[in-house]
Structure 1
């Protein structure tokens, strides 16, 4: 799928790496010749993916500080380096109106979606990147820029993650670049409840005419971590099929021909 992008031999940690965007990203790095360390909750799936990619893996919850530390230690002990960190793992719970949100579940969402990415960057920085440099990408969401029904906790957490990404970019340069990708609607299991009931209608409203695939986002992640993006930090790359500009598709409002 890709050239090496200068990533051959570099060690990469990808969280939430057994499905969706995380899996597609881990595969892209492996195809580029990187050494891949993966994390997810399901031990069987972690073993499967690590074996497929010729890398290593550790099952656990990234919200658990001991798992985050063990994951970065595993990468350093196995490969002797940790050049790239992809903070992809996330939860979209609690789903529903914020007035009904369980405070304990809300806190868990922030632990996984905001606190864990910061902790992993801290461990990567102290273990390798402070002395040797590196690249970090956080997976945010196009939805962090607006509100929507049921996704208040998720969107608020991702908006915080976006700011965290930019703050880290300012603090960790020039040696470490920190960027984010913000996908639109992508065909993942987490987003199935959104795209499955009305995929054709949603796709018809997008300038590029389809919802996203995990590899669409993985290509952006790979590029941001590569030498090709060596003068890019603090950026948020929209990978959304034109979601932000879809209002221009409403041609009937202007009595314009065609669609």
Structure 2
């Protein structure tokens, strides 16, 4: 699994959204790593991580991508992160995830709650997909495998991925996110969509967690709007909620200063 780390102090693992990669955390890295050890992996099949779980796409074994793609699951993605924590000899971390990264964080919490010292959920939700959402994910997976991802995936994702204010006032952010989406491998996109389509409801997992938790949501998030974030915070015993104005689904990219301020303040209180 490919990852980037910087800084020192409390380890903070940040899991990226779909359909981007760990670069979505770059705008906040320099705002956090003077206080924290920031670790940002590319999840299986996306960014620079190979679909078979090896460190980089170019190192995948022959036929491994096909075998890995046969068993997509969020639980497997969470197991990748646990293996990374073992590799880095980190018994406990503050674990954060945005959107799909949040699904993986909740799966890791379900599998190994003792490894989670604090939980950061960003623009995500605990409930499973309904039938229509699941069918749409499978259609995207099939199209990616048959057509690749260049162009159409960004065009279909960007309208809801970024907030209205970003589309109107931050063209450089729109361009940067478009480039990230266009760079994602088709097999990784398909794997991730099928994994998300099959994920379970994680509400009970959140209710069983008694550690500190922060929920961050963009006020303009059309995919997982503020009412979803309130449900997450209410399900968590120690849940706090921060809503960022003028921000859509990718808070760390759209408003890095506000996002970093919220995270730094929270971690300073729980450290």
TM-score normalised per structure 1: 0.41
> Rg bigger for which structure?
1
Q: Which has the higher contact order (CA 8 A, sep 6+)?
A: 2
